[in-house]
A and B are shown apart, each in its own frame.
Chain A
Amino acid sequence: MNLDTTTLIAILAMAAVTYFTRIAGLFVADRLVLTGRAKAAFDAIPPAVLVAVIAPTALTTGWAEAIAAAITAVAAFRLPLLGTVAVGVVAVVVLRNLI
C-alpha cells in the first residue's frame, strides 16, 4: 500500500478540477445558453478529447492496432460498450499473432 506524493497531488488536482466543473453549472444556470457554432464546439469537446487520447495507439503503433481499431469502430455502432471492448481486444490479439 504505497502512495507516491506526485501521484497523490495529481489525483487531488484532477479531483479539484472535476469538482469545479460539477458545481460551475450551479452559478451560470440562467446565463449559459449556447447556440450555433459555440454549442457545436462545446458539444465536440468529449469526442475530441477521447479521440486525441487514443489516436497514437490506434494509428501509429502498428498495423495490428490500426486494423483492430477499424474493426472496433465498426462494432461500436452495433454493439453495447462491453461487446465493443471484447471485439477490440480479441481482434488485436489475433492480429498481433498474424502480423
Chain B
Amino acid sequence: MDQASPFVSTPRRDIQAGLRDIAPVAVAALPIGLLFGAIAAAKGMSTLEVTLMSALVFAGGAQFAAIETWISPAPIVTLAFATLLINARHVLMGASLTPKVRMSRAQTLLAYFFLTDEAWALSERRALERPVTGAYWLAMAVVLWANWTLSSTIGAILGSFLGDPERIGADFAFTALFIGLVAGFGKSRVTLVTVAVSAGLAALVHYFIGAPWHVASGALAGIAAAYLAAPEEARS
C-alpha cells in the first residue's frame, strides 16, 4: 500500500501495485501452465494449438476440462457448451466489478478479455480502498496472460519428451487438480450435495451412454440439486 497520499493514484504507482499484487499468483500459476501444456501435448495437441488455446481462451478451468475430455476430431459444440458452463461465473464477477473500475466502456470491453478469478479477486480487494484503474488492471492482466501462454507452451514442448503419461501418473494429474479446485468451494451442505449428485450422474451417463454427454448431464443435475438443496428463503 502506498503510504503517502493514499487517494492520489498515478499510472506509474498503479502499475507497480498491479505487479506487486499479481506476482505471487503468477508464481503459483506457472507449474499449472506447464502441466496443462504437457498433458495437452500428450493428448495429441500440437505446440501451436496449445499456444493458441492458452492465448485466446485464457481460462484455466475451461481449458483443463476441454483437455480432459479431448477426442479427435474435437467436439466443437460440446467444448463450447462446457466452456460456457464453467465460465458462466465471469458474468457475476464482471457485474460486481464494473461499478468499481475507472475505465471507459470501450476500455473495459478490451480489459475484460483478461478477466480471471485471480485478477477479479485482487481488484475487488483493491476496490475496497480506491477505484481500479486501467493501469493497475493492465499490469496484472499482461503478466498473468504472458505467464499462462508461455508456461503452457513450454509445457507442451517438454511434454512431448515425457512419453506415456500413465507411466508417471500424469494422466491422473487432472483428476487430482480438479479435486483440489472443487475442495476450494468448501464443505457446505449445498456444495456436498452438488458434488455427490454431479459425480454420480456423470459416472452413470459415461458408463451407459458415453463421452462427452456425462459433462453436461452431470453438471446440470448438480446445479439442479443445489437449487433444491438450498433453503428457499436464503439471503445472499
A92 to B222, CA, bound (A): 27
Say yes or no: A29 contacts B95, CB within 8 Å: yes
B46's partner among A2, A30, A36, A82 (CB-CB below 8 A) is A2
Question: Which B191-220 residues have a C-beta within 8 angstroms of A?
Answer: 191, 194-195, 198-203, 206-207, 211, 214-220
User: Which residues of chain A come closer than 8 Å to B95, judged between CB atoms?
Assistant: 25-26, 28-29, 32
- Whether A99 is near chain B, meaning CB under 8 Å from some CB there, is no
Residue from B83, B112, B180, B233 in contact with A81 in the complex, judged by beta carbons closer than 8 Å: B180
Question: Beyond A53-B69, A57-B172, is A24–B91 a contact (Cβ under 8 Å)?
Answer: yes
Give the residues in chain B near A68, CB-CB below 8 Å: 172, 175-176
A45–B202 touching, CB < 8 Å: no
Give A20 to B81 CA distance when docked, in angstroms. Answer: 12
Q: Would you call A4 and B49 a contact (CB within 8 A)?
A: yes
Q: Are B223 and A45 in contact (CB under 8 A)?
A: yes
Interface residue from A7, A9, A52, A76 paired with B45 (Cβ < 8 Å): A7
Bound-state CA distance A69–B177 (Å) is 10
Within the complex, the shortest CB–CB distance from A22 to chain B, in Å, comes to 4
> Is B57 positioned at the interface, with any CB of A under 8 Å from its CB?
yes
Contact of B91 with A25 in the complex, beta carbons under 8 Å? yes
- Bound-state CA distance A79–B181 (Å) is 11
B162 interface contact, C-beta 8 A: no
Of the candidates B79, B87, B207, which one forms a contact with A13 in the assembled complex, judged by CB atoms under 8 Å apart? Answer: B79
Chain B positions within 8 Å of A28 at CB level: 91, 95
Q: List 5 A-B contacts (CB under 8 A).
A: A22-B90, A29-B98, A29-B99, A32-B95, A73-B179
Chain B interfacial positions (CB closer than 8 Å to A): 28, 31-32, 35, 45-49, 52-53, 56-59, 61-66, 68-69, 72-76, 79-80, 82-99, 105, 108-109, 112-113, 115, 168-170, 172-183, 185, 187, 190-191, 194-195, 198-203, 206-207, 211, 214-236
